């Protein structure tokens, strides 16, 4: 995967390596008014560690490199991005636009695996935010809301 990324211009390379941090902050802005909470960052780091160990071999090098700078990236982006939730989401979507194009240029099956891994990251970050009461008391409503949210969040990646 690193070889594919290295063929891109320098600016796009930087954004590609920040996608997991951007996804985490995007999901946080859904609920926390644009603020990242420590437990959410920890959850994201844990999932990133899982990807480093269990992702397809063609993706491991990417996630290992992302993990090296993830904490710094998320802190820097959290400071730089607008604090207003809507403005933050809009800015993140802007930053991810060139990544969407890049994702469609990756040959299959690596492209499919990479998109799935990133979408799994979206789901994992969102699941951390899921209200326990919602999951227990309103399981059918929760499933419908989850489908709507999945559709909306998938838009940011493709």
* pLDDT tens, position by position, 43-100: 778 888 888 888 889 999 999 999 999 999 999 998 999 988 889 888 998 999 899 8
Please give the Cα distance from 24 to 29 (Å, whole number).
Answer: 9
Confidence grade of residue 101 (pLDDT, cut at 50, 70, 90): confident
Please report the pLDDT score of residue 152 as a whole number: 55
Q: What is the pLDDT of residues 127-139, one digit of tens each?
A: 555 543 343 333 4
- Report pTM: 0.77
Q: Which residue has the higher pLDDT, 40 or 131?
A: 40
């Amino acid at each position: 995967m690193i070889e594919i990324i290295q063929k891109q211009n320098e600016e796009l390379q930087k954004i590609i390596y920040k996608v997991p941090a951007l996804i985490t902050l995007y999901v946080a802005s859904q609920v926390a008014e644009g603020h990242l909470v420590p437990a959410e960052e920890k959850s994201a780091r844990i999932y990133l560690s899982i990807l480093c160990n269990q992702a397809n071999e063609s993706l491991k090098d990417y996630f290992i490199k992302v993990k090296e700078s993830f904490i710094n990236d998320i802190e820097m982006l959290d400071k730089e991005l607008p604090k207003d939730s809507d403005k933050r989401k809009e800015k993140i979507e802007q930053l991810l636009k060139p990544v969407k194009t890049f994702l469609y240029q990756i040959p299959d099956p690596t492209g499919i695996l990479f998109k799935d891994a990133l979408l799994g990251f979206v789901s994992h970050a969102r699941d951390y935010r899921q209200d326990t009461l919602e999951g227990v008391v309103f399981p059918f409503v929760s499933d419908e809301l989850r489908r709507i949210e999945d559709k909306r969040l998938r838009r940011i990646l493709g």
